[in-house]
Amino acid sequence: MKNHEPLIGSEIFKKLSSVNVINSILGDNTNTWNIQELKGGNLNQVDVIKSEKGSVCVKQSLPYLRILGPDSKMPLDRILYENHAIKSHSLYTPNLIPNIFYFNSSLYLMVMEYFEDYLELRKLLHTAKTCDFLAKDIGHYLAHTIFLSSDLSLKPKERRLEAAKMAGNWGMYKWMEELSYTDPYIKQPRNSWNSPYLDKIAHEFRNDGVLKINVSILKEKYMSDHACLVHGDFHTDSILVGKNDIKIIDFEHAFYGPFGYDFGHLYGHLLLNYFSLKEYKNTEFTENNFDVWILKTIYETWQYFVNNFNLLWETRRTGEAYSVKLFENSENKKFSNTAKEIIIQRTLENAIGFTGIEMVRRILTVGQVNDLERITSPEKRSRSEILCLKLGRNLIINFKEFKNISQFIDMAQNLFHEEIL
């Protein structure tokens, strides 16, 4: 639908008024319905409909990227793949995924659960408030979605059919490939950075052969490793935090990709926030030791992931990869644990490499994050950005050298305390 435009206001009411499940939530009198657009998204039209009885969230695909304008064509059918990804992940972690009440493929429209009392993790981070259950919930989510959508748990035919259902999300996949693995390392008109302060390092990155080789290694993993169903854009705006739990949203980038890919996006954004504290001076952050909490969250998320993965290895390993029957006798039992540790180590290496990719991408091309942009002085902001780029480069080049999560955190912490001359 080349000239497709999303429904607005009364058009949405007219369409949804005949949907029984929506009426059961909002009531059947549309005169009592109120609609309000949620601001901040680049890819979608998102509205909330409220009544005295309840509320829902209405999400529609836009045919372009808001930050680049109507000429930046985006695939409308991404919402079809988001719908499937949400349903799949809800099988693995049902309490962390929104319920879908209505889906219309011809209108590229989805109606889902609205989490009124939840706040985006990025916004929470900007208040210097910590969250005790964040690491536990994320570790649970990533372990279950990685393990249960892979050949470790699914039968070969089932896993391949699931991957095939997501293969058509090519437009979003290609868009991410360009932004993350190509644009920051070439001259690209849409690139944007904090000029003139980052001009020198941007030039260095475009001419760094060693960096480009390792970016290409990670790009090949991104393109060729179809191991599990990943969220695809798992950053701090995709996590909603409530009083007792989190919810995961925005699955339009979902695809079958490498173990550890979603970790890279999450850790990249947590570290962008971490390094912003270098220049974003605020007593709330220093009094709460907020920088320490961010690193602690990174560490604990990984530990919860490993603990959950260990449990799933013993209880849900029903696939043909590393099948139980290969290791069922007592003599081979220890080799089962060795195999598991190899997978966990590979996941860590991928996570670290993709963290570096995301940190560089968010500074040298479109889609900068307000963790850094809240530093109003461009010169001061560049000091944090340069540290992020240095860390990103180190992670990309050395991702196979890290033996544990502590080495990764130590590198970030040591660089945080480095002075920029």
Looking at residue 40, its pLDDT comes to 66
Question: What tens-digit pLDDT sequence spans the chain (421 residues)?
Answer: 457 889 988 999 999 999 999 999 999 999 999 999 987 677 899 999 999 999 999 999 999 887 777 777 889 999 999 999 999 999 999 999 999 999 999 999 999 999 999 999 999 999 989 999 999 999 999 999 999 999 999 999 999 999 999 999 999 999 999 999 999 999 999 999 999 999 999 999 999 999 999 999 999 999 999 999 999 999 999 999 999 999 999 999 999 999 999 999 999 999 999 999 988 876 566 667 899 999 999 999 999 999 999 999 999 999 999 999 998 776 777 899 999 999 999 999 999 999 999 999 999 999 999 999 999 999 999 999 999 999 999 999 999 999 999 999 999 999 998 765 5
Beta strand 119-120 pairing with 255-257: unpaired
CB atoms near residue 15 (< 10 Å) = 17
pLDDT for 1 = 43
Assigned superfamily of 119-416: Aminoglycoside phosphotransferase (APH), C-terminal lobe (3.90.1200.10)
Domain 9-112 CATH assignment equals 3.40.630.10: no
Residue-level length of the chain: 421
Give dist(CA 214, CA 394) in Å, integer: 10
| pLDDT number for residue 96 | 98
- Alpha carbon distances (Å) from 386 to 15, 194, 354, 416: 50, 10, 18, 11
Write down the pLDDT at residue 328. Answer: 79
> Do 9-112 and 119-416 have matching folds?
no
* Cβ pair 265, 248 in contact under 8 A: no
In this prediction, residue 39 carries a pLDDT of 77
Q: What is the pLDDT of residues 362-384, one digit of tens each?
A: 999 999 999 999 999 999 999 99
Asked, as a colleague might, if the bond just before 196 is cis with ω within 30 of 0, I would say: yes
Token pair listed for 146:
């990685």
Q: How many CB atoms lie within 10 A of CB 200?
A: 10
What per-residue confidence (pLDDT) applies to 65?
81
What are the tens digits of pLDDT across the range 121-139?
999 999 989 999 999 999 9
- SS3 letters for the chain? CCCCCCCCHHHHHHHHCCCHHHHHHHCCCHHHCEEEECCCCCCEEEEEEECCCCEEEEEEECCEECCCEEEEECCCCHHHHHHHHHHHHHHHCHHHCCCEEEEECCCCEEEECCCCCCEEHHHHHCCCCCCCCHHHHHHHHHHHHHHHCCCCCCCHHHHHHHHHHHCCCHHHHHHHHHHHHCHHHCCCCCCCCCCCCCHHHHHHHHCCHHHHHHHHHHHHHHHHCCCEEECCCCCCCCEEECCCCEEECCCCCCEEECCCHHHHHHHHHHHHHHHHCCCCCCHHHHHCCHHHHHHHHHHHHHHHHHHHHHHHHHHCCCCCCCCHHHHCCHHHHHHHHHHHHHHHHHHHHHHHHHHHHHHHHHHHCCCCCHHHHCCCCHHHHHHHHHHHHHHHHHHHHHHHHCCCHHHHHHHHHHHHCCCCC
The predicted model scores a pTM of 0.96
Domain ranges of the chain: 9-112, 119-416
- Phi, psi torsion values for 241, nearest 5 degrees: -115, 125
